[in-house]
Amino acid sequence: MNPQPGPVLGLFQQTGAYLSGHFRLTSGLHSPNYLQSALVMQHPAHAETLGREMAARISALVAQKNDGSKKIDLVISPALGGLIIGHETARSLGVRFLFTERDADRKMSLRRGFVLQPGEVAVVVEDVITTGGSTREVIDIVRMYGAEPVAAGSIIDRSGGAVDLGIPRVALETLHVTAYDPAVCPLCAAGEPVVKPGSRPA
Ligand SMILES: [Zn+2]
């Protein structure tokens, strides 16, 4: 982890959202750290600050990549993680906000009567990107409707910048987070019980 955290990671540390221990990530890998972004976003003022920053960074990226010719029509995020940051980003951009969710067979889908019109310009916003899997699924849904995903953003990129979504993206903070295959995890070797985040009080 950076010895001098940026303002965004500073917010995570201040609110106890940057956890240390022995965690099983969604990817199945084990890590000594976990980011519980809900603990930052429980404070509406922090959510608003991060949404405003996300909106500014994404607007600048979209303008730069398209010579100012694209107007963002909407923000779309995967539930649950992307809900609050996506909403705050949309508020700051002055556009509408849609979300996708997993149905019973774990397939990401657009429900609740949400519709994208062909040609609409969308940005995909997530809280934390690890492998980019959820964001990629949302990008696919946007394309399915004939809309155009022009950029993606996350509060934190915990891939160290490695994830390639095939569209331009921004992260408010990029981390190189250690993750181990369980077979070679030193925390497992030391006999430390592994915790699935979300299942314990932080
Ligand atoms: Zn382990």
Give the 3-state DSSP-derived string for 78-143, with helices as H, strands as E and coil as C: ECCCCHHHHHHHHHHHCCEEEEEEECCCCCEECCCCCCCCCCCEEEEEEEEECCCHHHHHHHHHHH
Q: Ligand 1 centre from 12 Cα, in Å? A: 23
Helix (H, G, I), strand (E, B) or coil at 73: coil
pLDDT, tens digit, 9 for 90 and up, residues 117-127: 999 999 999 99
Residue whose C-alpha is closest to residue 88's, from 63, 56, 130, 60 = 56
Helix (H, G, I), strand (E, B) or coil at 74: strand
Q: Ligand 1 centre from 23 Cα, in Å? A: 7
Q: Ligand 1 centre from 132 Cα, in Å? A: 22
- Residue 15: DSSP 8-state: T
Q: Ligand 1 centre from 173 Cα, in Å? A: 25
Q: Ligand 1 centre from 164 Cα, in Å? A: 27
Instruction: Give the pLDDT score at 53.
Output: 97
pLDDT, tens digit, 9 for 90 and up, residues 53-68: 999 999 999 999 998 8
Q: Ligand 1 centre from 196 Cα, in Å? A: 11
Residue whose C-alpha is closest to residue 86's, from 71, 94, 95, 75 = 75
Q: Ligand 1 centre from 149 Cα, in Å? A: 37
With pLDDT > 90 as the criterion, what percentage of the chain qualifies?
78
pLDDT of 190 strictly over 80: yes
pLDDT, tens digit, 9 for 90 and up, residues 132-162: 999 999 999 999 999 999 999 999 998 899 9
Residue whose C-alpha is closest to residue 101's, from 131, 129, 81, 128 = 81
